[in-house]
Each structure stands twice: as C-alpha cells, then as structure tokens.
Amino acid sequence: MKEFFGDGLLLNTPAAEVLYQTVKDLPIVDYHCHLNENELRNNHRFADLGELWLAADHYKWRAMRLCGVDEKYITGDASFYEKYLKYAEIFPLLCGGPLYYWTQLELKLLFGIQEPLCAESAERIWNRANEVLKTLDAGEILRRFKVEYVATTDDPASALAAHGVCGNTNVRPTFRPDFVLNMDEAAIARLEGAVGKKITTLAEVKAALEERLNYFLSKGCKIADHGMDFLPLADPGEARAAELFAKRGELSFEEKQEVFSHLMYFMAALYAKNEMVMQMHFATFRNVNSAKFAVCGRDAGFDIMRGNVDTDRLIPFFDTLAQRDALPKTVLYSLNPACVPSLATLSGAFPGVRIGAAWWFSDTVEGIRRQLETVAEYAVLGTNLGMLTDSRSLASYVRFDFFRRILADFVGGYVERGEYDLESAKKLMYGVCYGNVKAFLNL
C-alpha cells in the first residue's frame, strides 16, 4: 500500500516516477483563469482557510450541495469556519473525484499537511493551516508555485488597472466579449462607458470592440476567450446583421444567433490581424436551476454540460475564416467530452487549431487520461498545450502538479511497455508541461 498522498501519488510505474521528476518543478504558464487581478496586485492575505477555499470555488459548492449541505453553509451567511466544517464533514464522501485530489494536494503543497481531511481532523487542520496562512499572501502563493504567467478573464470595458508584472509573475488580461456579442444591454452600456460614445448600430459596436481590443493589446493581452452555449452559424453578412442589431430588443433566439455569429467572424478576423490566440469554450448549459440562480447568481455551481453539440458548425466557421485569411490560432474546449474526437480530427484540417485541456467536469483523473488518449490517437500529443487552472482560487495551482502526475503516468506507460523511448518521453513532457504553450503564445 502506498503512502497517503506521498511522492508516488498517481505514478504507477518507475518510468512515470522518472518522467514526473523532470517536470515537477517547471514554472507555470496559466493561460486561462478567473483570478482577481486586484488580489494579485495588492498581495491579498486570506483571513483563514475557509476564505481561501470557499469564498468563490463553485466546484466545492456543488460538491456540498450534492451531499445535502444547506445553502446557508455554501453561499449563505454562515461564517467561513462554519462553512469549512461542513466541507470537512462531507469531504470523505468525495473519493475518486478531482476535489478529493485537489484538496489534499492543497493541504500538502501549501501547508505541509499530509493528514486526511474529515470531521475529526477538521479543527487540527484548520489551526495548522491558518498558522501557515499568516505567512502566505497572494504573491507568496504565486512564488511558491513558480507561476510565471497568468491570463485573467476580462470584460471589454474593464479598466485593467491592476495588470502588469506582480513580483515574478506576468499578469495579463484576456479579452472576453461574450455579453456584448449576445447583445446584453448592461454589457453594451458598460462598453459605451468605456469608449465614451453611444452605441446604436452594428458598425458602432464593432468600432467600440476594436477600440477596446486595441487597449487590451496595449496592456499586453495575447488571448481572447469566448464562452458560448452554441457554436456560430454561417455568417449572415453585414447588411442582415446590421438590420437585426438595430431592433435587438425584439429579436428571437435564432435572430440573436445570427448577430452573434456575424460578430464572431468579425472578432476572429481582428484576432488574426493582431496575432492573438482565440479560445472557444462551448457545450455548456448555464444556470439551469432558475430558483437557485435568482438567489445565488452566476458561476455558483448550477451549470451543466449539454447532451448534444453540433460541432459540424465549426467546419464552415473555420473554412470561411481560412478563405478570408482571417483564422487565428485557436484553442477548443468542449464541456461534453464526447465531442473531443471530432474536434481532434478537425484540428488536423486546420493546423492552427489545438484541443485545449480537459475542461471543467472533465478535469478528473480519468477525464484527463481520456483527453490525452484522444489527442494522441486523433491529433498529436507532443504539441498539446498542457494544463490551466480555469479557477477563481489561488490554491488551484496544485492542479498543475495533478496534471503533471497524470501525464507522467500516461506517457510512462508507453515507455514501460517498450513502445516509446525514455529520452523522447522527457522532451515530450517538457513541451506539454511548459514549452508548447510559451511558443504558442509567443511569450
């Protein structure tokens, strides 16, 4: 029996252990996250373990709901200590899930605690972790994990006042115009405020988006991100989109999709012109529990994966952009893993397109393994861009160690079976864990 969360965690062969040692201390390039850049700039210090873990982590919130915890102890008015005790109480039920691994890795790597979390150990762990937290501000956590680059996720109207170099970490914005492209009136009002102009026409919204994108570029932005429930349709053309935008308060869902699609073509061309990377996150079904959404708001753990995604829509989207010489480097993330094989083959038809990390519900031990297997079989494993946090929690940088262990075990299996040589495996590990994404982003 292996030691509980010992050095051999998830490493099942000697080759896996060797490969892990070659990458475990590499710097981190986090090319997609939802961290608060103000916390990084101001070296935020967490009051206690409850704030660090439970202030914004919808993964933990969802797990607590699944175990029957009352909402008071999740997003309600209970103290962080009370919330933490409820999490500790249900924690042993999470066997095999990613949260179990992440939480115990956070305790080990941040606090030096290698004890199973449960109701009985909760107070001991609380006291020990909080003592260590007195020495850990946001900057120290970034240094501890050797975080070299962070790409936050930002609305086009964001001031970006806190971005820049924070200690040893380069913190840069990501352009995320989802709400504007979906013609959300509040988002358009924010955009008007940012550019100081009234927006009434499609041409004006395009000009405003381009102005703000140029501002993001001046702040070191290299990446755009689009989260969408549905993929773009064929481009309806400028005239049709302008006509629809003019009456945007009266549009059907299908008509809104036409405007969204036209704007996606427009934005993709801007990204290509400015040599940016476009990320596309899709197959989501957001805020499905209306009653809870009314109480808890967005990003609170009530989003799920779509059962059906028409990934064929990406073919005319990419093909049209390629014909226009306007296809940027692109990273694809599907919340539904059933789509990944078709996406991987599509990436072979458009060489600037890559499959992203196993995302959200798929970033489990077996989900990451399946993603690696699919990329290896249908695309190219050695050009994979590796891991990211996609998180609002600074403690989530343990996910890179989690991924590196799984990758080492996966590649090490080929080495152990005599199907791949060790030196090539070491080079591949370096590329996937660090080198590839730096080259892809021109860092």
Beta-bridged to residue 228, according to DSSP, are: none
Long-range contacts formed by 294-300: CB under 8 A, 24+ apart: 295/71, 295/75, 296/71, 296/75, 299/34, 299/58, 299/392, 300/58, 300/61, 300/75
- DSSP annotation of 358 reads -
What pLDDT, on the 0 to 100 scale, is given for residue 250? Answer: 93
pLDDT tens, position by position, 222-255: 999 999 988 999 999 999 999 999 999 899 999 9
The CB density around residue 98, as the number of other CB atoms within 10 Å, is 21
* Residue 410 CB coordination number (10 Å): 19
CA distances from 426 to 120, 147, 353, 406, 423 (A): 42, 21, 25, 14, 5
Fold of 46-136: uronate isomerase, domain 2, chain A (1.10.2020)
Among 63, 124, 50, which Cα is nearest to 95's? 63
| Residue type (1 letter), 265 | Y
DSSP state letters, 199-244 = --SHHHHHHHHHHHHHHHHHTT--EEEEE-SS-------HHHHHHH
For residues 385 and 354, is the Cβ–Cβ distance under 8 A? yes
Give 334-351 pLDDT, tens digit per residue: 999 999 999 999 999 998
Does 14-44+138-440 match 46-136 in CATH topology?
A: no
The pLDDT tens digits of the residues spanning 279-314 come to 999 999 899 999 988 889 888 889 889 998 899 999
Q: What is the model's pTM?
A: 0.97
Delimit the domains of the chain by residue range. 14-44+138-440, 46-136
Task: State the chain's mean pLDDT as an integer.
Answer: 96
Enter the DSSP assignment of 135.
T
| 392 Cα distance to chain centroid | 9
CATH 3.40.50.1820 fits 14-44+138-440, yes or no: no
